């Protein structure tokens, strides 16, 4: 059963939010995509750090 069919039925609070689909979940652990995101996140965080000093 997909996560949305399983979890949305468990709790009324759960029904009012969003859940990741299969593609979004796969991308979270896709090493190539995550390596790109790692570089992007590092750059963005460095910008935030530099703006904070």
Partner 1 sequence: MARLVVLGGGVAGHTAATFAAKWLGKEHEVVVVTPNSKWNWIPSNIWVGVGQMKKEEVVFELAPVYKKAGVIYKQAKAVSLNPEGKDTSDKPFVTIEYTQEGKVGESEDVEYDYLINATGPKLNFDATPGLGDGSGQMGTNTVSVCTAEHAVHASHELEKCIQKMKDGERQKILVGTGHGTCTCQGAAFEYIFNVEHELKKAGVRDMADIKWISNESFLGDFGMGGLHMKVGGYVVSSKIFAESLYAERNVEWLIGAHTSKVEEGKIEYELLDGTTGEETFDFAMLLPPFSGVGLKAYAKDGSDITESIFAPNGFMKVDANYDAGAYENWKASDWPKTYQSPAYKNIFAAGIAFAPPHLMSKPMQSPNGTPINPTPPRTGMPSGIIGKAVAHTVCDLITQGEGAHLHEASMAEMGAACVASAGKGLFTGTAAAMTVYPVVPDYDKYPGTGRDTKYTFGEVGLAGHWIKHVLHHMFLYKAKLKPGWALIPE
Cβ neighbours of residue 33 closer than 8 Å, sequence gap 6 or more = 27
**How far is the C-alpha of 27 from the C-alpha of 13, rounded, in Å?**
26
Q: Counting contacts by CB under 8 A, is residue 1 touching partner 1?
A: no
Q: Counting contacts by CB under 8 A, is residue 3 touching partner 1?
A: yes
Among residues 21, 17, 23, 15, the alpha carbon closest in space to that of 2 is found at 21
Kindly tell me the number of DSSP H helices and DSSP E strands found in the chain.
4, 0
Q: How far is the CB of 38 from partner 1 (least distance, A)?
A: 4
Q: Counting contacts by CB under 8 A, is residue 22 touching partner 1?
A: no
Q: Counting contacts by CB under 8 A, is residue 18 touching partner 1?
A: yes
- Using CB under 8 A, list all residues that contact partner 1: 3, 7-8, 10-11, 13-14, 16-20, 24, 27-29, 31, 34-35, 37-38, 40-42, 44-53
């Amino acid at each position: 059963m997909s996560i949305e069919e399983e979890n949305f039925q468990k709790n009324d609070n759960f029904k009012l939010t969003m859940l990741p689909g299969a593609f979004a979940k796969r991308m979270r652990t896709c090493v190539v995509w995550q390596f790109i995101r790692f570089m992007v996140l590092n750059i963005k965080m460095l910008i935030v750090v530099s703006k904070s000093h």
